[in-house]
Every structure is written in structure tokens, then in C-alpha cells.
Amino acid sequence: MKKNNLFKFICLTPVIVYAILLILLPLVYILFLSFCESDSYGGIIYHFTLSNYFTIFDITYVKIFLKSSLIALSSTFLCILISYPFSIFLRDKSEKTRNLMIKLVMVPFLTNSLIRTYGWIVLLRKTGIINSALINLNIIDHPLNLMYNNLGIVIGMTYTLLPFMILPVSSAVFKIDQSLIEAARDLGAGPISIFRKIIVPETISGVFNGSLMVFIPAIGYFFIADILGGGKAMIIGNLIKNQFLTARNWPLGSAISIFLIIVTFGLVQIYKKLGGKLDDLGGM
């Protein structure tokens, strides 16, 4: 083998083997499973059926899809609501301070997200720190129900996924040409019209990037729903988890997963249409 070919071989073989064995094959296999039947003992019957895809449009499942999407949308919206002012206010700082602040946004990631979610129990529960503080300050008489409901899930998702919104939004906001803003100001534009006419159009692909990186995990993070939403709360993530580990109906779980993949690809297509680059999704 020529030396040139040897180098090519060494560079490409691992990544190709990886892409085929650990990405393509698993996805093709669950696509296959989604057309199989399951027996009542958790086994798989290799018999072609479309029934799993009909089952997911059952009203009980549709309700969970809608609720899960609503929770994910609320979390995404809250993340945008926090990230925009945060990035715009940071814009005024020196580049050094800005870089430091953005690094500090990432530091909480160095602890496991389950552990941080557990930290929220201490804060949110009825006898927790927030309720105790509010009662001691005589702001409320009775403890608020901050967790074991949908509010708890939204707080947990917003908290866990916020950095994924802050990173793309702030980098888009920092890139806006200052002279553009100054010109608008000289022509008499107020802060609101500057935001609407300059900041929003210039950052829309960054916001959509962040929204993808928040919305998609927020429909799947079952552990946040488990811990902060209490036993009854279900999002799509719990549904898939239950099909695989509790109900042991792998074909149905696979069909729901394929459905999620299709939704995800649809969202990515919209992102690309808006001028977003795929590489930016992975660049944190």
C-alpha cells in the first residue's frame, strides 16, 4: 500500500466504522423494530405491521405529545426571554469581560445535570428554601406549589437548557455592527424599534439555533419530569423510556422515536431555510 493511501486509510476508517456501526445501524434497527409486533412478554415478533404508528395517534398519546410540546415551548420561550436582554446588556462590556461571562455560563455544566436538578428540589419543595424565605418575609401565608407539577418541569428544563440558548444568541448579538445601531439611534430610533428592526433580524438564525437546542432535549429529558414533575407527570421522554424499560414494548417505543426523528429533521430543515448552518448547532 502506498504511503499516501495508508494515511487516508488511518484517518478515515475509524470515523466511517463509527458512523455506520454507532449511528446508521442503530437507527435502521429501530426503524425496523417500529414495523414489528410485540408479544405480551416483551418479546419482538418479526411480523410486519403499521399498528405501532396507528397507536401513537391514540388520544392518550396525543395528549402527552401536546403537553410535552407545550412544556418544551414554554421552556424555549423563557430561555429566549432571558437570553436576549442578557446578551444585549453584555454587549456593552469589554471583550474580555464578555468572554469570561460566557465561560461562566458553561461552568454549571461541569456537574451532572441530574445533580443540579436535585439541587432544585432543595429550593422548590414546600419546606424548601424559596417557600421558607417567602413565608418568613410575610409575602405568602401558605407554601406555593413550585414543583411536582408542570411549573416544576418548566423551571427545571429552562434551568438545564438555558446555556444552549445563551451561547448562540449572545454570539449573534455580539456580532451586530455597532455602527448600524448608532446610525439607527442618530436617525431617532428608540430602543424598542432598534430591537425590532436591527437586533431581531440580525440574530434570528442564532435564536432558532438556540430554540432547536432547547426544544428538542426538552421533549426528551425524562429525568427532569420524573424528579420535578412528580410521579404522574409525563413527557414524551418518559413515554419512550417506559416503553423500553417498564412496559417492554420496544416496537411502540421505536415508532415514537422515529416520529420524534421526523419532527426533529423537519425543524432542522426550517433552520437551514432560515440560513442556519448545521455546524453551528454543535459549536458551543
Instruction: Name the one range near another protein by CB under 8 A: 16-24, 56-64, 139-147, 177-185.
Output: 16-24
Residue 171 binding another protein, by CB under 8 A: no
Q: Mark the segment that binds another protein (CB under 8 A) among 10-18, 48-56, 176-184, 196-204.
A: 10-18
Shortest CB 223 distance to another protein, Å: 5
Shortest Cβ 195–another protein spacing (Å): 14
User: Given the complex with another protein, which of 203 and 243 has the nearer CB atom?
Assistant: 243
203/215 with CB nearer another protein: 215
Residue 25 is a binding residue for another protein (CB under 8 A): yes
Residues in Cβ contact with 153 at an 8 Å cutoff, skipping those fewer than 6 apart:
71, 224, 225, 228, 229, 233, 235
- Taking residue 69's Cβ as centre, other Cβ atoms within 10 Å add up to 16
The residues in 245-264 that bind another protein, with binding defined as CB under 8 A, are 245, 250, 253-254, 257, 260-261, 264
Distance of closest approach, residue 135 Cβ to another protein, in angstroms: 12
Instruction: For residues 84 and 193, give the distance between their C-alpha atoms in angstroms, rounded to a whole number.
Output: 15
Least distance (Å) between residue 115 CB and another protein: 5
- Write b or e for each residue in 166-180: b if 16 or more Cβ atoms lie within 10 A of its Cβ, otherwise e: bbbbbbbbbebeeee
Q: Which amino acid is at 266?
A: G
Per-residue binding letters, 176-195, with another protein (x by CB under 8 A): --------------------
- Of 186 and 279, which CB lies nearer to another protein in the complex structure? 279
163 binds another protein (CB under 8 A): yes
Task: Classify the C-alpha dihedral 35-37-43-44 as positive or negative.
Answer: negative
Site for another protein in 71-100 (CB under 8 A): 82, 85-86, 89-90, 92
From 154, 157, 172, 216, residue interacting with another protein (rule: CB under 8 A) = 216
Q: Under a CB-based contact definition with an 8 Å cutoff, are residues 186 and 262 in contact?
A: no
CA distance 72 to 150: 11
Closest CA to 221 of 232, 207, 236, 209: 236
Stretch that binds another protein, among 58-66, 124-132, 145-153, 178-186 (CB under 8 A): 124-132
According to DSSP, residue 109 is labeled: G
